[in-house]
Structure 1
Amino acid sequence: MRVKVNALILISVFALSSCKTQVLPENTVQTDIKQVVNSADVVLVDVRIPEQYAEATAKDAVNIPLAELSNNIDSLKGKKVVVFCNKGIQADQAVEILKKKGVDVYDGTTWKNVKAIQEEK
């Protein structure tokens, strides 16, 4: 019985010691999206297809469809970028692509969200 208890304690110690708190890099710290959207040096990127972009988008947004995003990484490097789409799904994908390439990127979720933030000023 004592061996089983010791084995259980030993297993618990190993399991708990393997659960380390992950320190997030500084660029992943939560940032107030309102401040980013309204900053003077931000590039707003609508990742929807051109037809959707033409219907409506946020003020001063550029259209780089998600399918073409990888071809435009160099033009976004060194800039603060907010990406958005219709429902946030493509924006999430765009964030992952851009983060992997070292772009300072923020998720604006939807064009309506970004537009509402701009109109709050």
Structure 2
Amino acid sequence: MKNKISGIVLASVFVLTACKTVKTTEVSKGNIKEAVNSSDVTLVDVRIPEQYAEGTAKNAINIPLAEIQNHIETLKGKKVVVFCNKGMQADQALEILKKNGVEVYDGTTWKNVKAIQEEKSADQK
């Protein structure tokens, strides 16, 4: 009986502390387009400076993922779109910023954000 209870407790602890595999911050395509094209948005490329220098979205600032925690206070009160190369670092930055009360959107990749910007430019012509 003792082993059974220990097993249940251990299983419960594992379930409660396991990493989340489901994204809880889904943003619809319409919302991300609206956020990217908003005049008051801050676009944040979370890649390393060398990657940022090779190309990024228009008006994006570079705050590498490793430094995002140090910039929370400057990002609070702003609408922020985070992005990177493949979306994995952006997901991590998104979680950190959300947990700290920042209004943040997942732009996924810099190429995605740039394409949204270019689409708006084409629509305005």
Given the two structures, how large is their TM-score scaled by the length of structure 2? 0.73
Are residues 29 and 107 of structure 1, via their aligned partners in 2, closer, same or farther at CA, if it must alter by over 3 Å? closer
List aligned pairs for 1:1-121, cutoff 5 A.
Answer: 30-31=27-28, 32-121=31-120
Compute the displacement of 1:30 (Å).
3.8
Q: Secondary structure at the match of 2:39?
A: coil
Are residues 66 and 104 of structure 1, via their aligned partners in 2, closer, same or farther at CA, if it must alter by over 3 Å? same
1:41-100 deviation line (CA, Å, top 9, x unaligned): 000000000000000000000000000000010110000000000000000000000000
Are residues 56 and 30 of structure 1, via their aligned partners in 2, closer, same or farther at CA, if it must alter by over 3 Å? closer
- Identity among equivalent positions (%) equals 79
- The separation in 1 between residues aligned to 2:26 and 2:90, in whole angstroms, is 18
Where do 5+ consecutive residues of structure 2 fail to align?
1-24, 121-125
| Runs of 4+ more than 3 Å apart | 28-31
Q: Secondary structure at the match of 1:105?
A: strand
Q: Which amino acid aligns with 1:70?
A: Q
Larger Rg: 1
- The separation in 2 between residues aligned to 1:47 and 1:95, in whole angstroms, is 10
Compute the displacement of 1:40 (Å).
0.2
Q: Secondary structure at the match of 2:107?
A: strand
Q: How many residues are paired up?
A: 94
Given the two structures, how large is their TM-score scaled by the length of structure 1? 0.75
Where do 5+ consecutive residues of structure 1 fail to align?
1-27
CA RMSD, aligned part only? Answer: 1.1
